Chain A
Amino acid sequence: DIQMTQSPSSLSASAGDRVTITCRASQSIADYLNWYQQKPGKAPKLLIYAASSLQSGVPLRFSGSGSGADFTLTISSLQPEDFATYYCQQSYSAPQLTFGGGTKVEIK
């Protein structure tokens, strides 16, 4: 099974900060990596697919990069509505899909 490890598991940041979240796969997954945002009590929302493609309607301050085993999600200027938990998801080994453990972004 491909394991997905996110770091950090949580972080504190202020509005306007640049935030970077890392997702590492236990083996190379090319660019088969997607990112989601989840707010408390809500369903996840797709942000990025195929490592770097921005989902329609998602603000441009979100970006994804990486390939192989190491990936990053960057929020260029954190907004109040961005405080949430972020998950990566690999699909290289489909139909065995796995998610990372999540990164909680909290207000400093």
Chain B
Amino acid sequence: SAVISQKPSRDICQRGTSLTIQCQVDSQVTMMFWYRQQPGQSLTLIATANQGSEATYESGFVIDKFPISRPNLTFSTLTVSNMSPEDSSIYLCSVGHSEGDTQYFGPGTRLTVL
């Protein structure tokens, strides 16, 4: 399994600001995914980050709110833009070799928006 790190591990932000979350993997992976996990809830896929092309967003998530970068096969960023308290969640990145196959998750970024 891959070793995945995320930065920051947690943050408290003011509404209207933006936060960029980094995800670093110790080996090259084909697929990187970004999930949101609201308190006490399950995992909701935000988007699939593709290297060399634009991210693929799920219904209810848009690029203007959650821009994603994937500059290489070991790194991705997710930005939460113009934050509101409703954006308070855990944001998780995960990696896998193909969509629908084995995924490994990072430790998560715990975001609180005041």
Instruction: Decide if A and B are genuine partners.
Output: no
